[in-house]
């Protein structure tokens, strides 16, 4: 305590002198506020000198406690950061694995889709081939039936046509024979008429010549007499 007083003697003397000078010059007025402030300052100074060690100890314990809390807080924050980093890394790995799994699923889906498309094409191709073969067989059967029907109808029509042609040929032969007979009769009658007409023409010509001669002879006689 004495050591502290000797160490702080200069400050104490300078403070007392300053106080005396200020009070002598009436700079400090002793009223209630000043007395209360001075008593408070004196209390703080005495308490600081007397309970300095206790106050320092309490501040040190409090600081240590706060430091421990801060260290624990920082440790927890660091562990939390490590956990967050680990979780982020795990999430990244999980996202990468999900992306890889998605790509694999897409590849598998595309492969399944192509396989289904190929199988569907083969099924449609086989079904269309079967239907086409069935249609071709039906078409051949229909063509064969139509060929048989047309052959039978053609034979029937040809037979009827031949019968009709026979009948028409017979009638035509009869008509041609009758026409030939008629033309032959007409020719014979025409020839006879032609010979008769020629004879008549000749007779008329000879008669006309004789008449002309007779007409010429009297005219000549009259000319000679003249």
Tell me the per-residue pLDDT of 184-222, one tens digit each, with 9 for 90 and over. 777 777 666 767 677 676 666 776 666 666 666 555 444
Tell me, what's the pLDDT at 217? 58
Instruction: Please compute the mean of the pLDDT values over residues 25-53 and round it to a whole number.
Output: 75
Neighbouring residues of 5: CB distance < 8 A, sequence distance ≥ 6: 12
Tell me, what's the pLDDT at 107? 92
28, 34 Cβ separation under 8 angstroms: yes
Q: What are phi and psi of 31, to 5 degrees?
A: -120, -175
The residue with greater pLDDT, 170 or 64, is: 64
Would you place residue 29 in the very low, low, confident or very high pLDDT band (cuts 50, 70, 90)? low
pLDDT surpasses 80 at 143: yes
Integer Cα distance of 64 and 58 in angstroms: 10
| % of residues, the chain, pLDDT over 70 | 78
pLDDT surpasses 60 at 224: no
Q: What is the mean pLDDT of the chain?
A: 79
Instruction: Please compute the mean of the pLDDT values over residues 16-42 and round it to a whole number.
Output: 76
Within the chain, what is the greatest distance between any pair of CA atoms? 236
DSSP summary character for residue 31: -
pLDDT digits (tens, 9 = 90+) for 51-61: 677 777 888 89
pLDDT surpasses 80 at 47: no
Task: Report which of 93, 91, 12 is spatially closest to residue 46, judged by C-alpha positions.
Answer: 12
Integer Cα distance of 207 and 40 in angstroms: 206
pLDDT surpasses 60 at 225: no
Tell me, what's the pLDDT at 214? 66
């Amino acid at each position: 305590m004495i050591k502290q007083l000797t160490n702080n003697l200069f400050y104490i003397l300078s403070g007392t002198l300053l106080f005396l000078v200020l009070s002598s010059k009436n700079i400090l007025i002793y009223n209630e506020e000043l007395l209360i402030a001075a008593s408070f300052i004196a209390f703080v100074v005495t308490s600081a000198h007397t309970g300095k060690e206790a106050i320092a100890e309490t501040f040190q314990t409090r600081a240590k406690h706060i430091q421990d809390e801060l260290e624990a807080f920082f440790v927890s924050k660091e562990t939390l950061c490590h956990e967050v980093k680990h979780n982020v890394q795990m999430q990244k790995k999980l996202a990468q694995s999900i992306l890889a799994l998605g790509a694999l699923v897409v590849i598998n889906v595309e492969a399944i889709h192509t396989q289904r498309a190929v199988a569907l094409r083969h099924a449609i191709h086989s079904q269309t081939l079967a239907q086409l073969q069935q249609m071709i067989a039906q078409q051949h059967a229909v063509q064969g039936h139509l060929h048989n029907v047309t052959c039978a109808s053609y034979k029937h029509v040809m037979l009827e046509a031949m019968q009709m042609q026979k009948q028409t040929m017979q009638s035509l032969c009869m008509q041609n024979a009758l026409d030939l007979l008629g033309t032959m009769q007409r020719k014979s009658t025409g020839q006879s008429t032609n010979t008769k007409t020629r004879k008549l023409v000749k007779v008329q010509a000879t008669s006309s010549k004789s008449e002309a001669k007779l007409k010429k002879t009297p005219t000549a006689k009259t000319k000679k007499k003249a």
